Structure 1
């Protein structure tokens, strides 16, 4: 599975980019833009058993493990959710099990200054995606 952005966008790069914005609107636009960079999931993969439970919008998650690194393909039918998925993929895609388990997602999202601005259902959906990935790698 190739990298979802074609080139590697890391969690650190996302933190640095987001810290350059002073307004929530600018951050929001940037998140939407990252979401547009994600490849669309093949319609054949959008099956009910791949849906992430706990998300208000539809979110499909496919994972692969090559013995060393995890790869994820995640898609959603909602624009802002695709952007949030991009943030999750920057942290988890092509990482080892140990790196994923050790990653502090709460601190990461706090640094991005997003959670306070998301609706409770979006925040819960984001948590559900992260929780599902962390369950997969156990």
Structure 2
């Protein structure tokens, strides 16, 4: 599976960081890139269950691919969401179903810093994306 352009950009940026502190700063910067959700989109219906922080996910189908937007009340989570969204940009349903989230974060050098609760939350986001795609 080839990487979307945004994912290649993220991979280059994060692997160039010599340590966790630099990656954490970069994550915060990436979090600022998230497309804003309208207040009405930050609703209970769009909230991702299984996240310790508040996370909202909105998706719409554009021809053969889906476009997702996400928001969180936690700055670090916004950064993690941004690199997740970069990784899945332009993927079809089959590619999304095969995505290995742990491998992606390991490639970025973020795998060891993901606490179990953050990892579970991000997996919950990916699961909700897959459910949205399946529901069409």
Q: TM range, normalised to the smaller chain?
A: 0.7 to 0.9
Q: Report the CA distance between 1:26 and its aligned residue.
A: 0.4
Where does structure 1 lack aligned partners over 5 or more consecutive residues? 1-7
Contact 1:71–1:95 (CA<8 Å) still a contact in 2?
A: no
Answering whether residue 100 of structure 2 is matched by residue 104 of structure 1, we say yes
1:127 alignment partner, one of 123, 128, 135: 123
Normalised TM-score (structure 1): 0.86
Answering whether residue 59 of structure 2 is matched by residue 63 of structure 1, we say yes
The equivalent residue for 2:47 is 51
Q: Report matched runs for 1:11-90 at 5 Å.
A: 11-90=7-86
Q: Report the CA distance between 1:9 and its aligned residue.
A: 5.5
Where does structure 2 lack aligned partners over 5 or more consecutive residues? none
C-alpha RMSD over aligned residues: 1.7
Report the 3-state secondary structure (helix = DSSP H, G, I; strand = E; otherwise coil) of the residue aligned with 1:137.
helix
Sort the Cα spacing of 1:9 and 1:41 in 2 relative to 1 into closer, same or farther, 3 A. farther
Normalised TM-score (structure 2): 0.87
* Greater Cα shift, 13-22 or 95-104: 95-104
